[in-house]
Each structure stands twice: as C-alpha cells, then as structure tokens.
Amino acid sequence: MSESTSPLLGSTDDGVKDFTRAHERIQFRIEPDRFEAARALPGRTMTEFATRFETIGAMPVTQQVDAILDALGLVLLPESAALFAKRLGDLENPIELGQASDVMIWLLEKYGLRPTQPSSNSAGGPVSPVSGTNSTDAPQLPAPTSPTSLPTDS
C-alpha cells in the first residue's frame, strides 16, 4: 500500500512513521433521540465490550438489561448512556431489548469487530420478554469469529 492510499494520517517525510488514525463521530438515532459513542476505544475497552456482548445471551433475562447498560456504558458518551438507560425503562418512549441488541452489534462493527451471536439459554426460547419473538425468528448474525478479529485488507 502506498503512502498516498494509506488510511494513516500524517507525513513520513521526517522519517517518523505516523500511526495516527482519523476517527469519525459515531452517532445513531432511536427516535426522537440522538446518541453518541466514543470515536475510538482503547484496546482493553474494546475487548471488554465484545466480551460483555458475547455473555449477555447466556445470562438470565432478569440480568440482561443491566448487562446491556453496563456494556453500552463502556462506549456511549456519558449523556448518551444516561439517556439510553432512562429510555430502557420508559413506557412512553421505550427502547426495546431488540433495539439495544441491534445497537450493540452495530457498535461492534463500527469499532472494527465482527460480533458473534450471544449464547442463548434455549434454542427455541424467547429472545427477550419484551420482543415476543423466539430465537428462530431473530435475524441470523455472521458466523462466529474471535471477538478480537479485525478486518483485513484482502
């Protein structure tokens, strides 16, 4: 890859390799609110976020909401995390568990990870008590990969 097509910023004219990366704002909307996540994650935080995502499906349903909030608290900016938490319990303007899961999968992809499907307690049981769908109705995720897999330039 030539310097002109490199995703890295900065010049190497001074003989110093610059590994700085440009990071776009990561925002999403769940009507009527806009949420923002960190532009980039430290390696350990990214690994922790991916690990927490993978373990949520194996938890009792009563613990899943707290686990989702905990995981999203690692990546959402504080104001967005507080609003997300509020809306997970808001009957008039709710965020459903399925939406929260979709957000987590999307964020994993934005940070360059390929999410694996969370473990489930039963093959035919409900995805969540709110959704009313069973796991056979849920969209199929990509084949499992390592949570630390990164995209390649192939």
94: pLDDT strictly greater than 70 = yes
Alpha-carbon distance 2 to 56, whole Å? 42
Domain ranges of the chain: 42-117
Mean pLDDT of 138-144: 37
At residue 53, φ and ψ (nearest 5 deg) are -60, -45
105: pLDDT strictly greater than 80 = yes
Mean pLDDT of 90-108: 94
8: pLDDT strictly greater than 90 = no
Helical ranges in the chain per DSSP H: 43-56, 61-73, 78-87, 97-110
Task: Look up the pTM and report it.
Answer: 0.64
Q: What is the pLDDT of residue 7?
A: 53
54: pLDDT strictly greater than 60 = yes
Alpha-carbon distance 6 to 71, whole Å? 32
Q: pLDDT, tens digit, for every residue of 111-121?
A: 988 765 554 44
